[in-house]
Each structure stands twice: as C-alpha cells, then as structure tokens.
Structure 1
Amino acid sequence: MYVFRQARRTSFVLIALAFLLWGLDVYPRIMLGFVFGQAIGLVNARVLAQRLELIGALLIDGQPTRLSIGTGIRMSMAVLGALIVLKFNDTFDVLGFAAGLFVTPFIVFFWGIWRLQRDDERRPL
C-alpha cells in the first residue's frame, strides 16, 4: 500500500524534526515527545499492515507465509526508541510520546483503508 510504503520515509523526517526541535528548544516537551512517538508509531503502523496482509493471505489464499526479518527489526527499533525516551524522561514528556506512539498507527491504518476503498471505487469494472 502506498500509505505504508511512505511510513518509513516519514518516520525518518519526524525523527530529524524532533532532534532539530530538541536542539533549538522551541517546543514544549509534550510536543517533542509526541513527534518522537509519531515517528515510532509510523513504524508500528507498517508492522501492523504487514501482519494484516499476512492474515489476509492466510485467509484468502490458504498459503502459509512468514513475517520478514525486517518486521522484527522494526519492532526492535520501536522498543529501543521507547526505552531511550523513558531513560531521558526528564527531557521528553512520556505522555506525549505515548500518545504519538499509540495514536499514529491507527490514524495511518484507517487512512490506508480509506485510500484503498477510494481507489477501488475509482477502478473500472
């Protein structure tokens, strides 16, 4: 899906933006934590999409498929990011991080479903 292919690039941009804001000390801690959470949440959204595609492949084709090694790496990155933020909780607001981490995958996921439905409606039969 287009949405999930763009997730990795967007997450790198958000991480760079968060480091820039952290260096400039522009935004309050909750916003900085939210941006970091969004970046890792986008990675989690991609993992969620892969899992759903796996379930769909099992249900539709009946063919067993396996998750890629990249999925495990992305999950590890998400856990590592969470540990980094919790270690520096005097700098980052953990509530903002948690909000970005858990809200972003659902927003991206439902946006992806909406795009798929819209694309299906536009395709000629």
Structure 2
Amino acid sequence: MTRKHRTKSGRQKQAYQNDILFMRAYLITLGLLFVCLAGLLVWLFMTATGRTDISAVYMTWAVFLVFLLLGAALCGVGLFGSNKAVDWWADTLGGTDIEILAVVVLAVPVYLLLKRFENRKLRK
C-alpha cells in the first residue's frame, strides 16, 4: 500500500519535532529507571539474603545484566536513534495510561534539557 505524502505546514512540523523530542525524553528516562532498578535489585539481593551459593549469584547477575542492557539500549535509542526508531520504541513500550503518566512526569526535566540543546543546535 502506498501512502501519499502531503506537505506539512510549519506548525505540523514543529508539533512533530516536539513529539519526537518528548519520546526521546521518555525513552531516556525509562532507560535510566531500568539501570537504577538493576543496581537496586543487586544491592537488595546481596544485602538482604546473604546467600553465597553460586546459582543464586549467577541468577542475580543475569537479572542485573538484562535490566542494565535494556536500560542502556533505551538510553542509546533515545539519544542517538533516528526519528523512526524512537517512534517505534516509544509506541512499543507504551503501556497503560497510568504507567506512562508516571514516567512522563519524570521525563519532563529531561525533555526541557533536550529542548534547550535542540534550540542551541538550531540557532547555529
């Protein structure tokens, strides 16, 4: 199926850029939350249980690596990904409204920081 490309007005382009920028902030925030959660899980497991058998340690580090790699991937896509990749990842990771709202509230400072850098980039 072919899609006809219509020219976008200036307002539509600006709205699209703001949406993509907020999606980037959302992905970066979600990635940082996963990285922090990975560290918290390892710290809690190691301090609370005191288990030293090798299978428990391997399982802890496996969970840590999964969360760490997912968080790093989200931060990488948010910072360096194309607009299409950012849009796909944000749509894929979008859950219910309550889950998204919690991350969106945390993503506002990241959005404002990215917006400031984007404005500097556009001025040059």
Larger Rg belongs to: 2
Q: Which TM class, normalised by the smaller chain length?
A: 0.3 to 0.5
Report the TM-score, using the length of structure 2 for normalisation.
0.39
Report the TM-score, using the length of structure 1 for normalisation.
0.39
